[in-house]
Chains A and B, each alone.
Chain A
Amino acid sequence: MSAIIAMSGVRKTYATGAIAVEALRGVDVRISEGEYVAIIGPSGSGKSTLMHILGCLDVPTEGHYSLAGRDVSDLEEAELAQIRNREIGFVFQQFNLLPDLTALRNVALPLVYAGVAAAERERRARVALERVGLADRADHRPGELSGGQQQRVAVARALVTEPSMILADEPTGNLDSVSSADVLGLFRELHVAGRTIVLITHENEIAAQAGRVLTIRDGEISENGVVEAGVRG
């Protein structure tokens, strides 16, 4: 299988005043198409920075990052926005749905920025909502949905552009255990259907869902290979 994500020697340094903080110190990651990968690490490990670079929300200070065959290491903001739109489906801890829009319009939002026509947007958004089992909630606003349902809507939004990878940042962080299991079940289904999923978490039990676990600590990554090896700290 070809590598969807190929990072080599990625460094990220934040300059705060006189002190330079090195959040990533030469990270190499390869993720193949259809893989379900968890990235686990305690807070302050560089986990968020890695997620931002993986998600093209930020660019590395040094090193190369190629996503779906394209080097995205030093693109302009407008080009990165396009890459995010086409290649990445985000799922956030806070769901980040727009409260004034219906579930359907929330799901269709990335298609608006992709320049898809209205009728086609609605059709694809309905398909995505159906995929997460919320076709009957299309006209509800986020406030009228449970947390688990909101996160399902967010997953539908991540799916709607048919991205190369779904990037989930602590997707169960705000959910009770039943909803968490529900959402993780959905990810598993998507993985079985051939989706590439990158899940960022600090919980071992969540990471255990993935086929491969990468541990990040002090800005460096190590491969556990098998989940059973566990994570220290």
Chain B
Amino acid sequence: MNWFETLRTAGDAVRSHRLRSLLTMLGIVIGISSVVLTVGLGLGAQDKVRDQIDALGSNLLIVSPGSSTGSGGVRGGFGSSSTLTLADAEALADKAVAPDVARVAPVTSTSASLTAGTTNWTSRLVGTTTTWEQVRARTLASGRFFTAKELASGANVVVLGADTSNELFSRGSPVGQTVTVNGATLTVIGVLDTSGATSDDSSEDDLAVMPITTAQRLSGSTSTSVSTVYVEAKSADTLSAAYQEVNAALLTAHGVTSAEADFSIATQDALLETANSTNKTMTILLAGIAAISLLVGGIGVMNIMLVSVTERVREIGLRKALGATPSAIRRQFLIEASLLGVSGGVIGVAIGVVGAIVLPSMIDQPVSISAPAIAAALGVALGLGVGFGVYPASRAARLTPIDALRSE
């Protein structure tokens, strides 16, 4: 009996017990669709995080005050003052100190209330230098960024994020208008494009960027400390060289050894890894639950196949009397179980894909449809059918034709 005939026989058997076959597949359908969905959710979350981190700019090193200790914790700076200063940023921009660094953008960040006419909006005040625009790979929707001259003079100018601009100036162009912050009146000279991050609550679009000198004056502080220094390497290839240079330069500037480092440098990859490790744990957990439901589904297939063998003893006996060898019978039942597994897998993948398309609009989470995951799910479904079909099939094959025919 060739494979095509066996497949046809198995197909007939599955079709002639439609309801039972569907119920048998149900476990596998649920298992496979949840695997497709959980993997999709996990990958979707990873894509989202990557988009957010990519939106920071490219080839970035993010230098923060405080240090990462060996055990992974972060030691804060002394007192309230940050250990990272404007001078550090200037040192890093020195080509002699760090030849692989393209641009440096020190950033101070505080929260403040902005007023435009009668509208109030609390936003993040970012004080920085003229390089911020390139380092953070931002573009302007309208107007211009502040100039070196305005930076040097601490001019009262501000560039608004897209969301901030919408909140404060719902009508008309904000460029040329004024906003009041801490009693000072700033002229809006530009509005940023949206950051491109897929995130819906990204603060990257809700900020007010101004010269760092202006920001210091507004906060009334004389401190030159900054909250972050963004360093852009010349290319992806020189990123690790730039890392070493920045690290060495800051250690020297602060007069500390690497064990006492009072700053930390993160790359985008490192940020991505940290963000993904939580996601990964969740994905593994959910996939584990899905795998258990698949196992239960497989046991369901075995259970029904055993019942089916008992029920069809006469058919088996007859087929043997007519010349079916034990291996032909084994193959028939094995193929039948595999067919149940694969059909369940196909239905499960279909439901998973539909879910991946429908779900994002309901739970506000991206769900990716991953071809390798679907292929693997189908493979697992087939494997389950075969694996859990082996025992019932060999039971059928072992029946002696007399016993099988005698059962009435």
List CB contacts (< 8 Å) of A67-97 with chain B.
77-78, 81-82, 84-86, 90, 92, 94, 96
Q: Which 8 A-B pairs have the closest CB atoms?
A: A85-B323, A113-B323, A78-B325, A81-B325, A110-B322, A96-B318, A100-B16, A57-B401
Do B321 and A113 have beta carbons less than 8 Å apart? no
**Which of A78, A94, A110, A115 makes the CB contact (< 8 A) with B326?**
A78
Bin chain A's interface residue count: 20 to 34
The answer to the question of A114 belonging to the interface, with a C-beta cut-off of 8 Å to chain B, is yes
Q: Is the CB of B321 within 8 A of A86?
A: no
Taking a contact as CB atoms closer than 8 A, the residue among A92, A98, A113, A161 that contacts B1 in the complex is: A113
Chain B contacts with A in 310-359, Cβ cutoff 8 A:
314-315, 317-328
Evaluate contact between A109 and B322: CB separation under 8 angstroms: yes
Closest to A55 in B: B321
B237 proximal to A (CB < 8 A)? no
Q: Which residues of A contact B323 (CB under 8 A)?
A: 81-82, 84-86, 110, 113-114, 161
**Helix, strand, loop or mixed for chain B's interface?**
helix
**With an 8 A cutoff between CB atoms, is A135 at the interface?**
no
Query: When the two chains form their complex, are residues A57 and B402 in contact, meaning their CB atoms are under 8 A apart?
Result: yes
Interface membership of chain A positions 120-163, coded 1 if the CB is closer than 8 angstroms to chain B and 0 otherwise: 00000000000000000000000000000000000001000100
Contact at B320–A81, with CB atoms within 8 Å? yes
B364 at interface by CB-CB < 8 Å: no
**Are B405 and A77 neighbours in the complex by a CB distance under 8 Å?**
no
- Indicate if A212 sits at the interface (CB-CB under 8 A): no
B324 touches A81 (CB 8 A): yes
By a beta-carbon cutoff of 8 Å, the part of chain B in contact with chain A is 1-2, 5, 12-13, 16, 314-315, 317-328, 400-402, 405, 408
Q: Which of B16, B322, B405 interacts with A85 by CB under 8 Å?
A: B322
Most interface-central of B5, B315, B325, B327 (chain A CB within 10 A): B325
Among residues of A, the one whose C-beta sits closest to the C-beta of B324 is A113
In Å, the complex CA distance between A220 and B365 comes to 82
Complex interface: chain B residues within 8 A of A96 (CB) = 314, 317-318, 321, 405
CB-defined contacts of A112 to chain B, threshold 8 Å: 1, 5
* Apart from the given pairs A78-B326, A81-B326, A113-B322, 20 other A-B contacts in the complex at a CB distance below 8 Å: A81-B323, A84-B322, A85-B322, A85-B323, A90-B322, A92-B405, A96-B314, A96-B317, A96-B318, A98-B315, A98-B318, A101-B12, A109-B322, A110-B323, A112-B1, A113-B319, A113-B324, A113-B325, A113-B328, A114-B323
A52 within 8 A of B: yes
Which residue of chain A has the shortest Cβ distance to B401 in the bound complex?
A57
Closest CB of chain A to B188's CB: distance in Å?
A: 79
Interchain residue pairs with CB less than 8 A apart (11): A57-B321, A57-B401, A57-B402, A58-B400, A78-B326, A81-B325, A81-B328, A84-B321, A100-B12, A112-B1, A112-B5
A112 CA to B319 CA, complexed, in Å: 10
> Are A115 and B324 neighbours in the complex by a CB distance under 8 Å?
no
Q: For the complex, what is the distance from the CA of A186 to the CA of B328, rounded to whole Å?
A: 32
Residues in B neighbouring A115, C-beta threshold 8 A: 1-2
Bound-state CA distance A11–B315 (Å) is: 29
Chain A neighbourhood of B325, CB < 8 A: 77-78, 81-82, 113
The answer for the CA separation of A115 and B4 in the assembled complex, in Å, is 11
Most buried by B among A57, A86, A92, A110: A57
User: What separation, in Å, do the CA atoms of A142 and B269 have in the docked complex?
Assistant: 70
Report B309 CB to chain A, min CB distance, Å. 16
8 A Cβ contacts from A30-86 to B: 52, 55, 57-58, 77-78, 81-82, 84-86
Give the complex CA separation of A82 and B325 in angstroms: 7
Please, which residues of chain A bring their CB within 8 A of the CB of B320? 81, 84
Within A98-113, which residues are at the interface with B (CB < 8 Å)?
Answer: 98, 100-101, 109-110, 112-113
